Amino acid sequence: MTRIKLTAQANITPKQTTQIPTAKLDPKGRKIAYQIETYEIDFIDQPDEIRQGHMIEPGHYYAARVQITKNGRAFGATQLTKYLKDSEARDRYIARRTK
């Protein structure tokens, strides 16, 4: 069986969090918005003897996480962070998720 090479997180920039308001209200009158968390991160090779890490190619990535909020508080399932190879791809991902 081939073992998958794992990577570790390194050189994480400070996370930036912004709110994108919408004009939408839920049936209870709560304001719906999006909370966007972005940062940059490097993934580096792990030694073979380490058996924990991330299944992602080594390199520099632009991270984004989009969470729906109601009245400023996270709502619904916690969303996964998406790692993209360039900032333009990250911007397109955020635009798609916030339509």
Q: What is the pLDDT of residues 24-40, one digit of tens each?
A: 999 999 999 999 999 99
pLDDT tens-digit readout, 4-20: 678 999 999 999 999 99
Residue 1 lies in a domain: no
Total domains present in the chain: 1
CA distances for 94 relative to 12, 30, 56, angstroms: 20, 22, 20
Residue 13 lies in a domain: yes
Residue 2 lies in a domain: no
Coil/strand/helix, residue 87: helix
pLDDT value of position 48: 81
Residue 12 lies in a domain: yes
Domain that holds residue 52: 7-97
Q: Give the predicted TM-score (pTM) of the model.
A: 0.85
Q: How many CA atoms lie within 13 A of 46 on its CB side?
A: 18
Residue 77 lies in a domain: yes
pLDDT value of position 61: 97
Residue 89 lies in a domain: yes
